[in-house]
Structure formats: structure tokens, C-alpha cells
Amino acid sequence: MASLLDMRRRIKSVKNTQQITKAMKMVAAAKLKRAQDRVTASRPFAGKMTEVLGGLSAKVADDFSHPLLDARGDEKYLIVLISADKGLAGAFNANVIKATQAFLKENSAKQAEMVAVGRKGRDFFKRREIEMTDEYVGLTGSGQVNYPDAVEIAQKLIQQFTEDTSIDKVFVVFTEFKTVLSQKPVIQQLLPIPRAEGSETEEAGSSAEAEYIYEQPAPEIFGHLLPKYVITQIYRGMLESVASEQGSRMTAMDSASKNAGELIDTLTLNMNRIRQAAITKEIIEVVSGAAAA
């Protein structure tokens, strides 16, 4: 049985850990509010750009060709994995990594390369049999996303996709923020940019025709908008990932603080039992000595 001194040391250690988890929860909550506001602000723009470009690209499919639009084969994939730079965020990193593994398993017959945004995803897949063509770490550690970082990543992806014609498709994997308690890994095709099909094409095309008048020729318009679309999707994915990370960390630290409190109560109860047993033992020894005398 542990001594009274050992129990006091354990209680003190758990209390120190509880103070850390409570502080981390408060920091995550503050960062989450800012990240959530930026995600909410970015979604309408990203969604509208996807709708307009999807409809217009389908409308001019027969008259216009662009490297970011033209469909290729289905043999080689480039996967952009967006994860966190830090741990202690519950199952956040594990979930996005599992989603990536499941996608790779479903497409095991394809060749795959990876671009890692975030240290956790980079470290995990660097030990696996997949080629890491590029990596970006330290971009989201502060809980913020800088637009120039997204521009740099997107421009390199566009350059890699246009120069390496062996890459057929580019997918981005990130965690979409739903609520503080709910985050969902998403796998989205980034390149070539999907064209709207069927009734959606007609609806998007008619909407674009009704709302917009384009004076410039198609190559000029798409040459400017398509790279912007890639940048927007990368930026949105990073914003969603940061918000999901902070929400998951806040939940995890809250749970850790509660568990620490329960452990402190249990250890305190055991310490009191040990102290009571020691006092009882001393009383028995005193009484036994007096009776012997």
C-alpha cells in the first residue's frame, strides 16, 4: 500500500496537470471563436465561386480548354493532407489520418503522392510507403491561417499539376468544422476543377448567364479565376482545419480536467483511509501498551 506521503505527491501532481488542462481549454476557446468567425465568413465566397465556375466551365466546355479544367486519366493521384502541427486535440489528427488511409486503401491500384500541410500528418505518412513531394509545417500552430501561406501552397500545386502531366487528379483532405463537438473529415477533388453536370449544369449556367455579363474572352476570365478558385479552396480547408482543431482541443481538455477532478477525489479518499488506518494503528498500540503495563 502506498504511503501517506506518496498519496499527497500524487494528488499534487494531478492538481498541477488539471491546472494545465484548464488553461489549455481556455486558450483553445479563445482561438476557436476567432477561427469560427473566419470559417463562417469564408464559406459563402467559396461556395459561390464553386457554383459559378462549375456552371460556366460546363457551359464553355466545347469552346474552351484549360489545364486546370481538362480531365485527364485516373491512374495517379496527388493528395493534399491538412492536419495539425500540435497534438493534445483529441481524435482530430487521428480521424483525418484514418480518412486518408481509407481513401488510399480504396484506391490502392492507383499511384499516390502526398503534400503534407501540418506536422502530424507529415510525421505519420513519412514513415509509410508514399512519396512526400512537399511539406508545410508551422503554418497553423498559432491557431491562425495567413492568406499568403494558402497562396504559396496553391501556386505550387498549380505549377506541379500543370508541369507534371502524369498527375491525373489532386485531392485535398481536411476536417470540416460542424460544431464544437462535431468535426467531419472531408475528401474533395481540387484538380482538375469539377464541371457541373446534368440539371445542375443548366441551372448554374442559366444563373450565371442571368446574373453576369462577361466582356472579356473566356481564356482571360478563366485564366484569372481558376487559380483564385484553387487558392480559395486551400484557404478554406486550412480555416476549417484550424477551427476543428481548436474545437477538438477544447473538448479534449475539458474532458481531461473533469477526469483529473475525479482522480483527485479518488486519491483524496484513499489518502484519508490510509491516514485513518495509521491513526487507528497508533491508538491500538497505545491502548495495548497501557494494558500490558
pLDDT score at 203: 43
- What is the reported pLDDT for 67? 81
- Report the CATH fold assignment for 41-248: Pyruvate Kinase; Chain: A, domain 1 (3.40.1380)
Indicate the DSSP class of residue 56: H
Confidence (pLDDT) at 41:
87
pTM: 0.82
Taking phi over 0 as left and psi of -120 to 50 as alpha, with beta for the rest, 38 belongs to alpha
CA distance linking residue 280 with residue 141, whole number of Å: 55
Tell me the domain boundaries of the chain. 41-248
User: What is the β-pairing status of strands 76-82 and 111-117?
Assistant: parallel
Q: Of 234, 227, 83, which Cα lies nearest the Cα of 146?
A: 234
What residue ranges of the chain have pLDDT lower than 70? 1-2, 55, 57-64, 195-214, 218, 293
Please give the pLDDT value at position 71.
80
Residue 80 · residue 115 · CB < 8 Å? yes
What confidence tens digit (pLDDT) does each residue in 30-84 have? 888 888 888 888 888 888 887 777 767 666 656 667 788 878 888 899 999 999 9
- What amino acid occupies position 89? A
